[in-house]
């Protein structure tokens, strides 16, 4: 038996046979639907918007993703940004950025598009982690609204 957990909250989503990938995908879809959870790839935070997009990339077992933010309350002089990507069998990783480099201050930032290979075909989930934020030149802190997205990696 394999236990699937929500990468954001750590809450158990479903228990499925360990050898059935399609059963795992169906369990994730059913659990998310019953909980009223749908990926939102761009969301509004306390002073702007942030995004996370994940999709198939050309080539077998490849996917790509990118993230970023747009501020409406001023320009940022620094930010701390973390994302998490998870596959159906619980494998995953984090990626982090921070910057106060010479191009700052700025009201927008977007990561480069990241292309990754996955040994697991099926649904991959990704999201901006809680606490990701930008610090404005005024001293205000703008938090991400927690965008998320999913893709079926082939």
Question: How do residues 42-79 score in pLDDT, each as one tens digit?
Answer: 999 889 999 999 988 887 788 899 999 999 989 998 89
Domain range holding 57? 40-153
Q: How many domains does the chain have?
A: 2
Q: Which residue has the tokens 């306390």?
A: 46
- How would you classify the pairing of strands 42-44 and 48-56? antiparallel
Q: What is the pLDDT of residues 112-138, one digit of tens each?
A: 998 888 777 788 899 999 999 998 989
Indicate if 80 and 53 belong to the same structural domain. Answer: yes
**Same domain as 33, residue 74:** no
CA distance linking residue 58 with residue 21, whole number of Å: 22
The first and second tokens of residue 24, run together, are: 């795992």
Same domain, 29 and 70: no
Domain match, 49 and 20 both: no
């Amino acid at each position: 038996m394999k236990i699937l957990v929500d990468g954001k909250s750590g809450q158990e989503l479903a228990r499925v046979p360990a050898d059935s990938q399609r059963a795992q995908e169906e369990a994730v879809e059913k659990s998310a639907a019953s909980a009223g959870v749908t990926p939102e790839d761009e969301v509004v935070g306390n002073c702007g918007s942030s995004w996370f997009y994940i999709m198939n990339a050309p080539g077998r077992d490849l996917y790509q993703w990118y993230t970023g933010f747009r501020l409406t309350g001023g320009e940022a002089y620094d930010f701390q940004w973390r994302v998490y990507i998870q596959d159906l069998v619980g494998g995953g990783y984090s990626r982090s950025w921070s910057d106060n480099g010479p191009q700052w201050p700025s009201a927008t930032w977007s990561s480069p598009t990241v292309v990754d290979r996955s040994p697991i075909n099926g649904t991959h989930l990704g999201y901006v982690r809680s606490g990701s934020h930008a610090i404005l030149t005024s001293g205000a802190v703008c938090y991400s609204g927690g965008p998320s997205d999913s893709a079926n990696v082939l």
